[in-house]
Amino acid sequence: MSGYRLTAAGAQIDRSETVGFTVDGRQYFGFKGDTLASALMANGVSIVGRSFKYHRPRGLFAAGVEEPNALFTVLRDGSREPNVRATEIEIYEGLSVASQNRWPSLDFDLMAVNQLGGKALAAGFYYKTFMGPVFGPLKGTRFWMFCEHFIRRAAGLGRAGTTPDKSRYERVNAFCDELVVGGGKAGIDRALETAAGGKRVILCEQTAHALTDKQVEELSNKGVTVLKRTTVWGWYDDNVMAAVERVTDQMAKPGDNLARHRYWIIRAGHVALCTGALERPLIFPGNDRPGIMLASAAETHLQQFGTVPGKRIAVFTNNDSSYVTAVALQAAGAKITAIIDVRSKIGSNATALATKANAKHLAGQAVIRTHGKGALTGIDVAPFNAETNTASGASERIECDALLVSGGWSPVIHLASQKGAKPQWDSKLQAFCAPTPASDWSVHGAAAGAFEFADGLSDQPAPMLHINHPGKAFVDMQHDVTVDDVRLAHREGFISVEHLKRYTTLGMATDQGKTSNVPGLAIMADALGKDIPEVGTTRFRAPYTAVSIGAIAAERFGDLLPKRLTPMHERHLSLGARMYEAGLWMRPESYNQPGETVEQAYVREARAVRTQVGMVDVSTLGKIDIQGPDSAQFLNRLYTNGFAKLPVGKARYGLMLREDGFAMDDGTTWRLGEDHFLMTTTTANAALVMQHMEKMLAVHWPNMKVHLTSVTDQWAGVAVAGPNSRDVLTACVSETAVDNTALPFMGIVYGQIEGIPVMICRLSFSGELAYEVYCGANHGEALWDALLKAGQPWHITPYGLEALGTLRIEKGHVTGAEIDGRTTARDLHLDWMLSSKKPFVGSAMMDREGLADENRWTLVGVKSIDGQKLKGGSHLVAGETAEEPGRSLGHLTAICYSPEMKTYIALALLENGKNHIGKRLFTTDPVRTGAHIPVEITSHHMVDPKGTRMHG
């Protein structure tokens, strides 16, 4: 193609501002307002891409989202965005792009040898060559493994970057009475009309250039919210529409204030599709040569950018619309050498336009061949037989450097199709149209099949889209699918439209077949001897065009992910804690002293709790305030053990089951008043337990007077644990005694610590004498400081999750690792908590045969015999060697080094666990470490099984 820029024309460009950009490092210049495509055309660049399989040179084909060939990788700030259409890249000073799928360069691509073996890469090539059993060294799957490296290098589109995307993205929630999709004439008219009725209207236009500033101003003045560079790409139930706004892609220096893309979620009362129509190509041998493009693309380039694709332009059409383009180009100074029309009878108005364009008018003829080394230099034309879609007889050569093709128009009904509206074939327009809309959506303008061509021109194309003639004719240019591929699919029985698509990959590239779907169907219909609607069409899926993953993730990753911090967070950091993400919570893992490993730190911390005193932040425990006259009865039905008679001022450990009889969660619940309880749940299950209780009250026991409120964040909690814990509290608590009489095991008292009101419950997760001290969360940091200070004489040691885990493993206390949804109360040796005096949630189902089976996996302790470090998740097996471990008998749920046992220990769920106690098994970890370690199975109560310490 020898494209160039006219000295006038181009509504979109600002000729006073020159913009420099580079392609593969080579400097070019365009004008402000240019797309990369128009700037390249103005620079006379003809080859803009290499095809997917055959590495054929390709040129600009379209001017919008349907462009199949001109894909580039945009390079910016060290990151790369592949497969961006040049027709959508707005150039800015310093824009840098790389061409794709070529080696070493676009103009000279060594991979183009693929063309020589053209037949070998026909449809189904990969399936036939690389699938199936292995016969010899070069067949089947093994052959694929051998060839994959080379094929992957040769075939494909752009390469994604590997560096993190530094851009920021955001989401916007919007609401309107009507969303108008498309900012063409139909869209503007519809938006103004609806807005005039006092309705809230949002209009989205995907391009930068379709709407002029004046039009935007007029729309805005009428109250329409106008979003330019915004593609509505998905239609979801109840008119929830997904759109992406490209905010900074066209800016040379976007700065940090703006998000790169905005993901708009628009809830629309009504959706008006004013999405226009896309022109279809005609399919003929050599139709992919650079210089051949859609007539509509030439029209857009002329009107918006003042660029023209060639010096000598031919037009090949099956309809009237491209005659207008020919006249416009001629008027702008281009030479139209010929208009080739497959129709033998052409209306007088079109004929007049051909004359006006000063073009040779060839009716009833078709292009059967193209010439040119690289770019187009000429075409061969021969008489066309409309009955057989063939051309025969003497051919005539026409010299041209650009060929504009038009196969008629297809309304853009992708969004309606996403919604589930089945496209209907219009035989006059030769196009799929949207069905009759419902009250909450409508279609307007060209999208509705109302093509408003100039007076007297017909909107009906000839019913043909391809010429049957020998030679490579491309249907899907992006995936290199030819007419022969479609015919091969037909011969091999892949005749349903779904099979055709998958077998040939027609329409499955990044353009999703915007220019190729209907021609592909036409060829299949021709092969089958059927009409196009009988072949059918596939349902379009979101997105309409590619959407950045960043936009969809929007604020849901990186530093914008929500985190929960306890009131003592800053104190943990200043004590050098390694923080650990437990769900959304940030919790101290261990407080490492200089030079300490995590293991050394937690062992030191756990030992301090066993020998002196430690303190741990337990603010993350789920806390639910329960009030109402039926609260006690409610808890009694919910928990497996009795709660009705729990005295005020006492706490009780409780276990909840699911309706199916499996364990759900455990925790302590404190009776603060006759009708007032405070429930604690495990950190991870707080939301689940809340929902469970709300459902029981709302749905099953609606007459119970119980109110539930999440108060997790209201209370800061510190557990003080160890033989000296009472001494610490005695030293700092006022307004109440904390001795064994005033505060017995599971008792609750109220007092103050340094003036802070506190509630103290004596309970123990560590197995030591221990207390949980709660205060209002805003006092949490002060409470932490006060306890740390008060504990100094006893060397109070802050401990983290690792030490907490160690202490509970030693005691055989369960957490979510053991209450994993597959374990019952009996499996966890909590059957002592199953009341036989009352029904409770899960009681009817917990005694089922399968849940009482003695071979079930049950909780046991595990001790490393030779001191090797155990690994959580390892399996327990009887086999002596890693090579022959035997079947899995269970797995380790939690491991630690036990300072008390002086070896690595674990909790495990083990088949018929009771029978294994005292016996030797092995832990095996074939996938990760390969370690095979001898262990002794013990009771899960490994330290102080009688519980004398915490009751002391």
Partner 1 sequence: MRINCPHCGQRDLAEFTYHGDADQAAKRPEAAHENSAEWNSWVYDRTNTAGQHRELWQHTGGCRSFMIVTRDTVTHAIISVEKVGP
Partner 2 sequence: MADFFDLSSTVAEKAKSPLANFLVPGKYPAFDGATNVKLSELAGQTICEVAAWPDGVEAVRALLPSEGTVFEFAPARWVIVCADVKPTKKLALGVGDHGSFVDLSHGRCVLRVKGKKSAWVLSKLFAIDFAAMDIKTGVATTHHGITAQIWRDDSSTFDLVIFRSFAASFWHTLTKACADVGYEAV
Single-letter amino acid code for the residue at 49 = G
Contact 39, 63 (CB under 8 A): no
User: Which does residue 699 touch among partner 2, partner 1, none (CB within 5 to 8 A, set by kind)?
Assistant: partner 1
Which parts of 262-281 interact with partner 1 (CB under 8 A)? Answer: 265, 267
CB atoms within 10 A of CB 595: 6
Measured from the CB atom, the residue of 75 and 845 that comes closer to partner 1 is: 845
Rounded distance between C-alpha atoms, residue 313 and residue 330, angstroms: 9
230 lies in the site for partner 2, by CB under 8 A:
no
- At 720, give phi and psi (nearest 5°): -110, 120
Rounded distance between C-alpha atoms, residue 806 and residue 2, angstroms: 76
Query: What is the separation, in whole angstroms, between the first and last Cα of the chain?
Result: 93
The two tokens of residue 913 are: 């666990």
User: Which does residue 782 touch among partner 2, partner 1, none (CB within 5 to 8 A, set by kind)?
Assistant: partner 2
750 lies in the site for partner 2, by CB under 8 A:
yes
Find the part of the chain contacting partner 2 (CB under 8 A) among 123-131, 305-313, 345-353, 770-778. 770-778
Contact string (CB under 8 A) for partner 2, positions 196-225, x = contact: ----x-------------------------
134 lies in the site for partner 2, by CB under 8 A:
no
Helix (H, G, I), strand (E, B) or coil at 104: strand
Contact 484, 121 (CB under 8 A): no
User: Which does residue 847 touch among partner 2, partner 1, none (CB within 5 to 8 A, set by kind)?
Assistant: partner 1
**Least distance in angstroms from the C-beta of 853 to partner 1:** 14
Contacts of 468 (CB under 8 A, 6+ apart): 388, 389, 390, 483, 526
Measured from the CB atom, the residue of 148 and 440 that comes closer to partner 1 is: 440
508 lies in the site for partner 2, by CB under 8 A:
no
User: Which does residue 496 touch among partner 1, partner 2, none (CB within 5 to 8 A, set by kind)?
Assistant: none
User: Which does residue 564 touch among partner 2, partner 1, none (CB within 5 to 8 A, set by kind)?
Assistant: partner 2
Contact pick of 56, 58, 572, 779 for partner 2 (by CB under 8 A): 779
Q: 476 - beta bridge partners? A: 481
Single-letter amino acid code for the residue at 242 = A
CB atoms within 10 A of CB 837: 7
Contact pick of 217, 399, 581, 713 for partner 2 (by CB under 8 A): 713
| Nearest Cα residue to 634 out of 840, 845, 846, 837 | 840
Q: Which helix (H) or strand (E) holds 245?
A: strand 240-246
**Least distance in angstroms from the C-beta of 172 to partner 2:** 5
Contact pick of 673, 839, 947, 952 for partner 2 (by CB under 8 A): 673
Contact pick of 218, 396, 630, 659 for partner 1 (by CB under 8 A): 659
**Least distance in angstroms from the C-beta of 491 to partner 2:** 52
729, 735, 739, 742: CA torsion to nearest 10: -140
**Least distance in angstroms from the C-beta of 846 to partner 1:** 8
Measured from the CB atom, the residue of 736 and 843 that comes closer to partner 1 is: 843
Q: Is 66 exposed, middle or buried (0-12, 13-18, 19+ CB in 10 A)?
A: buried
**Least distance in angstroms from the C-beta of 911 to partner 1:** 23
Rounded distance between C-alpha atoms, residue 533 and residue 528, angstroms: 12
627 lies in the site for partner 2, by CB under 8 A:
yes
Q: Which helix (H) or strand (E) holds 145?
A: helix 140-154
Rounded distance between C-alpha atoms, residue 865 and residue 221, angstroms: 81
Contact pick of 744, 755, 947, 952 for partner 2 (by CB under 8 A): 755
700 lies in the site for partner 1, by CB under 8 A:
yes
Rounded distance between C-alpha atoms, residue 575 and residue 175, angstroms: 48
Measured from the CB atom, the residue of 351 and 714 that comes closer to partner 2 is: 714
Distances (CA, A) of 271 to 201, 203, 410, 545, 552: 10, 10, 20, 19, 22
Find the part of the chain contacting partner 2 (CB under 8 A) among 226-234, 551-559, 831-839, 882-890. 551-559
Contact string (CB under 8 A) for partner 1, positions 522-561, x = contact: ----------------------------------------
Measured from the CB atom, the residue of 19 and 657 that comes closer to partner 1 is: 657
Contact 179, 268 (CB under 8 A): yes
702 lies in the site for partner 1, by CB under 8 A:
yes
Single-letter amino acid code for the residue at 181 = V
Single-letter amino acid code for the residue at 456 = G
Contact 83, 100 (CB under 8 A): yes
User: Which does residue 26 touch among partner 1, partner 2, none (CB within 5 to 8 A, set by kind)?
Assistant: none
Contact pick of 625, 659, 911, 936 for partner 2 (by CB under 8 A): 625
**Least distance in angstroms from the C-beta of 750 to partner 2:** 6
DSSP code per residue over 555-592 = TSSGGGS--B--TTHHHHHHTTEEEEEETTEEEEEEEP
Can you give the binding site for partner 1, defined by CB under 8 A? Answer: 236-238, 240, 265, 267, 420, 637, 659-660, 691, 694-695, 698-700, 702, 836, 839-840, 843-845, 847-848
Can you give the binding site for partner 2, defined by CB under 8 A? Answer: 168, 170-175, 200, 255-259, 265, 267, 555-556, 559-567, 569-570, 584-585, 619, 625, 627-628, 672-673, 676, 705, 707, 709, 711-716, 750, 754-759, 775-782
